[in-house]
């Protein structure tokens, strides 16, 4: 933390310009650059959805990070890590890939607009895979900033099964809340699978309904701090956030991302564990 230089890990489920532009994708692209320009060290992890063109975006495999297996329901799922640079910046983006989960022509729904039945396992794979990737990198973040519903299990995992990992021991986790982005459910088996056989029912209880609102509430519950966007957030999420009286909250303004968020990260890090 010398000279207030921070290591900030961004884990996002969408990011421009690799996917179609969305509110989430745009902020996931703009914020890391703004933080890096303030003389901080940044790493970015995203899923390698099949619609991301590897040739056009110049993705290539990072062999030293690949080769892990992520176990879900006793099934081993190979994890491949790829990397690309964002044009006009010095930022590298790490892409988490798996042939069964991500090699599709669509992101969350199929050609008939039907929510993928295995979005539960895709979410668990990405969240656990992201943390395993950081462990393998051997890079010790000060702040872990999660954006997008597909990252919602990461605060829970950091506070439970990964809490004693040296690489995460001093990290604070921040979660950004957006408007609900799906109306379906991740299924009645979601919390059982997400437990990875190590997490209690009580810790998983906020996720119980397995819908988008529950994903946000679960992530908020286990985060150290929350970023709240301006509009469209489910009233149940707002009520839950207000019920956590001591939770640090940043009301996203977007006027000067660098100053706005760097100060917030410093406030989060200054608070006692």
HSE (side-chain half, CA atoms, 13 Å) at 70? 26
pTM of the model: 0.95
Token pair for 98: 């798996």
DSSP string for residues in 149-207: GGGTHHHHHHHTTTTT-GGGTT-EEEEEE------S---TTHHHHHTTTTS-HHHHGGG
Q: 88: burial class by Cβ within 10 Å (0-12, 13-18, 19+)?
A: exposed
CA 166, CA 194: separation in Å to the nearest integer? Answer: 22
CA 96, CA 124: separation in Å to the nearest integer? Answer: 12
pLDDT recorded at residue 272: 64
Count of the separate structural domains present in the chain? 1
Determine the average pLDDT of the residues in 140-149. 97
pLDDT at residue 273 greater than cutoff 70: no
- pLDDT for 69-108, tens place per residue? 999 998 999 999 999 988 778 889 999 999 999 999 999 9
Residues 6 or more apart in contact with residue 91 via CB below 8 angstroms: 32, 33, 36, 42, 44, 85
Residues 6 or more apart in contact with residue 181 via CB below 8 angstroms: 24, 149, 212
Token pair for 266: 């410093």
- Under DSSP, the state recorded for 114 is P
CATH code of the domain in which 63 resides: 3.40.50.2000
Enumerate the H helices of the chain as residue ranges.
23-37, 54-57, 99-102, 119-137, 153-159, 190-194, 201-204, 212-222, 235-243, 257-270
pLDDT recorded at residue 70: 95
- Under DSSP, the state recorded for 94 is E
CA 225, CA 271: separation in Å to the nearest integer? Answer: 10
- pLDDT for 2-48, tens place per residue? 458 999 999 999 998 888 778 898 999 999 999 999 999 999 999 99
Tell me the residue range of the domain where 218 lies. 2-270
Residue 54's pLDDT band, with cuts at 50, 70 and 90, is confident
CA 73, CA 121: separation in Å to the nearest integer? Answer: 9
């Amino acid at each position: 933390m010398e000279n207030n230089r921070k290591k900030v890990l961004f884990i996002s489920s969408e990011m421009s310009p690799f996917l179609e532009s969305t509110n989430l994708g745009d902020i996931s692209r703009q914020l890391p650059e703004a933080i890096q320009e303030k003389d901080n060290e940044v790493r970015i992890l995203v899923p390698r959805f099949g619609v991301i063109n590897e040739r056009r975006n110049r993705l290539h495999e990072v062999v030293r990070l690949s080769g892990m297996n992520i176990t879900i329901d006793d099934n081993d799922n190979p994890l491949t890590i790829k990397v690309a640079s964002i044009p006009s910046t010095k930022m590298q983006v790490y892409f988490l890939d798996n042939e069964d989960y991500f090699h599709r022509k669509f992101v969350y729904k199929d050609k008939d607009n039907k929510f993928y039945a295995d979005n539960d396992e895709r979410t668990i794979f990405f969240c656990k895979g992201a943390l395993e990737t950081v462990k393998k990198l051997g890079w010790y973040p000060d702040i872990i900033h999660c954006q997008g519903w597909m990252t919602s299990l990461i605060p829970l995992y950091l506070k439970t099964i990964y809490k004693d990992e040296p690489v995460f021991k001093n990290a604070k986790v921040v979660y950004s809340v957006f408007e609900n982005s799906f109306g379906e459910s991740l299924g009645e088996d979601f919390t059982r699978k997400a437990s990875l056989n190590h997490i209690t029912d009580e810790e998983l209880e906020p996720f119980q309904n397995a819908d988008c609102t529950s994903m946000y509430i679960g992530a908020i519950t286990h985060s150290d701090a929350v970023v709240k966007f301006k509009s469209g957030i489910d009233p149940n999420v707002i009520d839950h956030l207000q019920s956590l009286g001591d939770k640090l909250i940043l009301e996203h303004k977007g006027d000067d991302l660098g100053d706005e968020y760097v100060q917030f990260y410093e406030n989060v890090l200054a608070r006692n564990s």
